[in-house]
Every structure is written in C-alpha cells, then in structure tokens.
Amino acid sequence: MAYKVIEPETRKLVCNKCQQELVLAEAEASYLGAKFEIELMKCPKCGLVYVPGSLATGKMEQVELSREDK
C-alpha cells in the first residue's frame, strides 16, 4: 500500500522533544506480517510519526480488516 497523506498547509506540527517541525517522509506500516510503504508527517530528528485520525479510521482500518481476512 502506497499512501500519501497531505496535511493541510495551515497545520504546523512540531515534535515536542526535538522542537523540530514534522515533515512528510517515508514511513512503514505493518500488520499481520504484511508491510506497507506510506508517506506520513515525521520528526526529521527522532522519527516520531503522526498518524492522522482520518487515516486511522479510514484507509488504515480498511487495510487492517482486509489483512485479517487473509
């Protein structure tokens, strides 16, 4: 699954620990032995990833459920 999450430009997310602004970067999502490439907002320093609610309760949930039926 290649999935791109474009954050609204008005939203500025900052990693609390590193005080770095999150940027769109490669991330990896895995479930039940399957791995998916995904672009998400990430802290460029520590790698903390932000998963937006719309993704978690949308596409991500769909993929989870379909993996569970494999």
Partner 1 sequence: MLMDRQRVRDRENQCIQEQPPTCTATCPIHVDARGMIASIRKKDFSAAFAILNRFVPYPRIISRICEHPCQGECKRNEVGETIQINALERAAVDYSTKRASGITFSSRKTQRIAIVGSGLSSLTVAFDLATKGFSVVLFEAADRLAGRLRELGEERLPQQAIDDDLAVLKDLSVEVRLNARVGEGADAAASLSALTEEFDAVYLGAGPDGAASFAHELALNEGGRIAIDSLTFATSNPKVFAGGSQRYAPAAFSAITSMYDGRYAVLSIERLFQKASLSANRDQQGAFATKLFTSLKGIAPAGATLMAVPEQGYSREEAIAEAERCIHCECLECVKVCEYLAAFKSYPKRYIRELYNNYCIVLGVHMANKLLNSCAECGLCGTVCPEKLDMGDYIRYTRQATVEIDKMPPSVHAFALRDMAFSTGEQFALARHQPGHDASRYVFYPGCQLSASSPNQVFRLYEHLQQKLEGGVGLMLGCCGAPADWSGRENLFKETIAAVQKQWQGLGSPQVITACSSCYRAFKNFAPTMPIESLWTVLDQVGLPASATPRAAKTVAIHDACATRHDNGVQDSVRHLLEKLGVQVTELEDNRSLTTCCGYGGLMSFGNPEVAEKVIDRRVQESEADYLTYCAMCRDNFAGKGKRSYHLLDLICGDEDDPARKGPGYSQRHENRAKLKTRLLREMWGENVVEEKEPYELIITPEVAQLMEKRMIMVEDMRKVIAHAESTGEKILDTTTGRFLAAFRPVSVTYWVEYSVEGTKIVAYDVYSHRMEVR
Residues forming contacts to partner 1 in the complex (CB under 8 A) are: 10-17, 22, 27-32, 36, 38, 40, 43, 47-51, 53, 56-57, 60-61, 63-66, 68-70
Question: Closest approach of Cβ 65 to partner 1, in Å?
Answer: 7
- Whole-Å CA distances, 14 to 20, 36, 37, 61: 5, 25, 23, 26
Of residues 24 and 47, the one with the C-beta less far from partner 1: 47
Question: Closest approach of Cβ 68 to partner 1, in Å?
Answer: 4
Question: Closest approach of Cβ 8 to partner 1, in Å?
Answer: 9
Of residues 2 and 70, the one with the C-beta less far from partner 1: 70
Give CA–CA dist 38/2, Å, rounded: 5
The dihedral region occupied by 42, where left means phi > 0, alpha psi between -120 and 50, and beta the remainder, is beta
Measure the CA angle with vertex 29, ends 66 and 46; round to 5°.
160
